[in-house]
Amino acid sequence: MNVVFLSPAYPPEMQQYTRGLAEVGAKVFGVGDSHPQSLPRELRAHMHDYLQVPRIMDENDVIERVGVWLRGRSVDRVLANWEPLQILAARMREKWGVPGMSVDTTLGFRDKQLMKERVKAAGLRVPHSFRVRSPDESWAAAEKIGYPLIWKPIDGAGSADTYRCDSPKDLERALKKSRHIREASVEEFIDGEEFTYDTVCVQGRPMFENVAQYLPRPLIARTEEWISPVIITVRDLYQPYLRDGIELGRGVLKALNMGSGFTHMEWYKTAKGEVVFGEIGCRPGGAHLVDQMNHTCDIDLFREWARASVWHSFEAPTVRKYNAAIVFKRALGEGRITRITGLEDYKRRFGRWIVEEHLLRPGTHRRDWKQTLLSDGHLIVRHPEWAEAHKMAFAAATDITMFAGG
Ligand X SMILES: Nc1ncnc2c1ncn2[C@@H]1O[C@H](COP(=O)(O)OP(=O)(O)O)[C@@H](O)[C@H]1O
Q: Which residues bind ligand X (CB under 6 A)?
A: 127, 150, 152, 156-160, 162, 187-190, 194, 217-219, 266, 278-279
Q: Residue 178 CB, nearest distance to ligand X (Å)?
A: 13
Please identify, using beta-carbon distances, which residue of 18 and 113 lies nearer to Mg ion.
Answer: 113
Shortest distance (Å) from residue 96 CB to Mg ion: 32
E strands present in 247-301: 261-269, 275-281
Closer residue to ligand X (CB): 30 or 261: 261
Is there a contact between 346 and 359 (Cβ–Cβ < 8 Å)? no
Nearer to ligand X by Cβ, of 59 and 188: the residue is 188
Smallest distance from the beta carbon of 249 to ligand X, in angstroms? 15
CB of 224 to ligand X, least distance (A): 13
Complex with ligand X: residue 160 or 332, whichever CB lies closer: 160
Nearest to 321 by CA among 297, 290, 350, 287: 297
Q: Which is nearer to Mg ion, 32 or 281 (CB)?
A: 281
Smallest distance, ligand X to C-beta of residue 223, A: 10
194 binds, among Mg ion, ligand X, none (CB under 5 to 8 A by kind): ligand X
Please name the residues in contact with 73: beta carbons below 8 A apart, sequence gap of 6 or more.
2
Binding residues for Mg ion, rule: CB under 5 A, are 266
CA–CA separation, 261 and 349 (whole Å): 39
User: Considering CB distances under 5 to 8 angstroms, the limit depending on partner class, which of Mg ion, ligand X, none binds residue 323?
Assistant: none
Query: Measured between alpha carbons, how far is 380 from 324 in angstroms, rounded to an integer?
Result: 7
Question: Which residues are CB-neighbours of 384 under 8 A, at least 6 positions away?
Answer: 235, 321, 322, 323
Residues 6+ apart with CB under 8 A from 51: 29, 30, 31, 32, 65, 66, 69
Q: For residue 148, with 0-12 CB atoms within 10 Å meaning exposed, 13-18 middle and 19 or more buried, which class applies? A: middle
Q: Residue 376 binds what, of ligand X, Mg ion, none (CB under 5 to 8 Å, by partner type)?
A: none
Give CA separation, 165 vs 113, 115, 252, in Å: 19, 23, 27
Could you tell which of Mg ion, ligand X, none binds residue 380, using a CB distance below 5 to 8 A set by kind?
none
From Mg ion, ligand X, none, interface partner of 158 (C-beta below 5 to 8 A by class): ligand X
Residue nearer to ligand X on the CB measure, 119 or 360: 119
130 touches 185 (CB < 8 A): yes
- The least distance separating Mg ion from the CB of residue 205, rounded to whole angstroms, comes to 24
Distances, alpha carbon 139 to alpha carbons 148, 167, 174, 177, 190, in Å: 13, 11, 12, 15, 19
* Beta carbon nearer to ligand X, 77 or 330: 330
Closest CB to Mg ion belongs to which residue?
A: 266
* Whole-number Å distance between alpha carbons of 322 and 148: 37
216 touches which of Mg ion, ligand X, none (CB within 5 to 8 A by kind)?
none
Name which of 218 and 229 has its Cβ closer to ligand X. Answer: 218
- Pick one of Mg ion, ligand X, none as the site partner of residue 45 (Cβ within 5 to 8 A by kind): none
CA distance 314 to 316: 6
Q: Which is nearer to ligand X, 63 or 114 (CB)?
A: 114
Sign of the alpha-carbon dihedral angle for 103, 105, 109, 114: positive
Residue 157 CB, nearest approach to ligand X (Å): 5
Residue 291 phi/psi, 5° resolution?
-60, -40
Smallest distance, ligand X to C-beta of residue 13, A? 17
Rounded to 5 degrees, what are φ and ψ at 213? -110, 140
198 binds, among Mg ion, ligand X, none (CB under 5 to 8 A by kind): none
Give CA–CA dist 81/84, Å, rounded. 9
Closest contact distance (angstroms) between CB of 126 and ligand X is 9
The partner in contact with residue 162, picked from Mg ion, ligand X, none with C-beta cut-offs of 5 to 8 angstroms by kind, is ligand X
Question: Whose Cβ is closer to Mg ion: residue 209's or residue 266's?
Answer: 266
Cα-Cα-Cα-Cα dihedral sign, residues 345, 347, 350, 352: negative
Report, in Å, the least distance between residue 181 CB and Mg ion. 16
Q: Supply φ then ψ for residue 98, to 5 degrees.
A: -90, 135
